[in-house]
Structure 1
């Protein structure tokens, strides 16, 4: 009996790699997708790195709003790099395999950065709330120390929360099948492949998600409710437009990020909706990081002026 149990246990540890199915196996589609994602990756890296450089070198951008923007752009650079390089390699070579440890590493980095972005967006919304609702006390309230605390708290919280999930995930056994119907290692697709009891990690996931995402989302929403209420109390049209212009870029980023993120994780996990789920996953993991620098630069006079100085 013990020998049978030992043999079964050995068989349960056979899987050492997963296969990311991605977007199918049609050769003509793979080439097209490779070119599209390569252009997106180049634009994303260039745009976000440029924002970071501008925030560092231009003295006029040494303000709390641009400090958080620099953090967000740095995060987007890392965020995109956890997914797109591996995806590009698989599209170019046809090799879709990824080691179990590599999959865990990708999941950990991806989860950390998504969680951190939620907190950073909340910090940025709080910054805009203070700027619009408490303009006279803004400089005193949003000082350098608080900015550092909010940014550091966002990064540390993201890494610690995901570390807990990854530790639980690492205890799971994967004994087949080993095909992940996605283009990166996400929580639910990986969990489906485990032959271990997943009730505990599912419970932990629900608890952490309930304590984590809603808090940052509610803080962001509450900040903008207060901002909108404050703008409505401004009597002049020009005053309302000026107030709105200081937070419009961030509001667009928040709407795009949370809109696509919530669609992906609230969408029913049915076979008919798998393709749609991948499309929305592409929106928040690939397109959003590319669009953020464009949104901030095209709608922001200070960023455009700093870019003009660098170019000239």
Structure 2
């Protein structure tokens, strides 16, 4: 039984409409970006990463929001044991993939700013494909390892999860066996997946900022900064909420705050991330205008 965001019936209706609107906009927006990247040849590189980010955020939304919307609408907060484990696996897989994908995108930004003459030869379509494939594969493998260890635990306590989705920490609180066999591998894998990639991105941006400051032209500095500012915004938002959710102790006072930040990065982040990239990218905006003009012309021709 998922307890949800709290026993506040008056908030369930506005939260339902907020989640429904966000989910609808997220799915439509991300699918539109994927279609644009696939259909427009000039967006294939380096927008290949943006298309995968939008695909990832679409899957991310579909893992949690349909169950949450159904619980708001029907009041039924029950979830099967297998469904709970499946939700945990896919959520962990997509979150891990996003960490790796954002690191790959920071490497792309580093090459574009610090090695502009070698960028075309280093960041080829094949390299993009390898980085993306590795991101998805490692994310799925890490989540699979944690899920397998979790399935070995015994659960004999209350069948209530103090959260609105099946996350690892609330599930471990329900176990009556030794959870160190799960927590230790989780900490090691989280360090490799989250902390290592965060440090990698931090080092990349140290070099990027140093390279931008060496540009003599103010126009050149502004152009270079605008190239990486969208990625930096997404990384900061994603990692700040992630650290707040998983580093803060789950005391009674902070538990509701934990749910709020979890709601933010599981519901709003899939909508915000691709929008930040697309709205700040001139090529994507131009491709969207062309697609809208083409659709309008087709509509008028059919009439």
Match of 2:106 in 1: 125
SS in 2 for 1:97: coil
| Shift of residue 309, structure 1, vs aligned partner | 0.6
Q: Distance between the aligned counterparts of 1:212 and 1:35, measured in 2?
A: 34
CA shift digits 1:200-221 (9 cap, x unpaired): 1111112212222112111111
Pairing 1:60–2:39 present: no
Segments of structure 2 that go 5 or more residues without pairing to the other structure are 294-303
1:30 corresponds, among 12, 35, 39, to: 12
Question: Are positions 1:147 and 2:99 aligned together?
Answer: no
Displacement of 1:128 in angstroms is: 0.6
Q: Deviations over 1:23-77 (max 9, x none)?
A: 234433212211110001001111111110110011221112x100100100000
Cα separation, 2, equivalents of 1:250 and 1:125:
7
Q: State the distance in 2 between where 1:26 and 1:229 align.
A: 50
| 2:200 counterpart of 1:219 | yes
Q: Does 1:293 align with 2:283?
A: no
Partner Cα separation in structure 2 for residue 247 and residue 199 of structure 1 = 40
On the 8 A contact 2:53/2:274 being kept in 1, the answer is: no
Number of the residue aligned with 1:14: none
1:173 corresponds in structure 2 to 154
Deviations 1:114-140 (A, max 9, x none): 000000000000001001100000000
Instruction: Tell me, yes or no, if the aligned pair for 2:3 and 2:164 is still in contact at 8 Å.
Output: yes
State how 1:24-173 maps to structure 2 within 5 Å.
24-64=6-46, 66-173=47-154
| 1:195 aligned residue | 176
Inter-partner Cα distance in structure 1 for 2:152 and 2:234: 36
Residue 205 of structure 1, aligned match among 186, 205, 214: 186
The correspondence of residues 250-289 of structure 1 with structure 2, limited to 5 A, is: 250-289=231-270
Does the residue aligned with 1:210 lie in a helix, a strand or coil?
Answer: helix
Q: Secondary structure at the match of 2:79?
A: strand
TM-score by length of 2: 0.95
Matched pairs, number: 293
Query: Following the alignment from structure 1 to structure 2, what is the Cα–Cα distance between the partners of residues 260 and 147?
Result: 27
| SS class of match (1:247) | helix
Q: What is the RMSD computed on CA atoms of the aligned residues?
A: 1.0
Paired with 1:298 and 1:141, the residues of 2 have a C-alpha distance of 27
| Per-residue deviation, 1:83 | 0.3
Structure 2 SS opposite 1:20: coil
How far apart are residue 196 of structure 1 and its match?
1.4
Unmatched 5+ stretches in structure 1: 1-18
Matched, 1:184 2:165: yes
SS in 2 for 1:95: coil
Cα displacement string for residues 59-113 of structure 1 (whole angstroms, at most 9, x for unaligned residues): 221112x100100100000001100000000010000011111100000000000
Q: For residue 183 of structure 1, report the CA deviation from its aligned partner.
A: 0.5
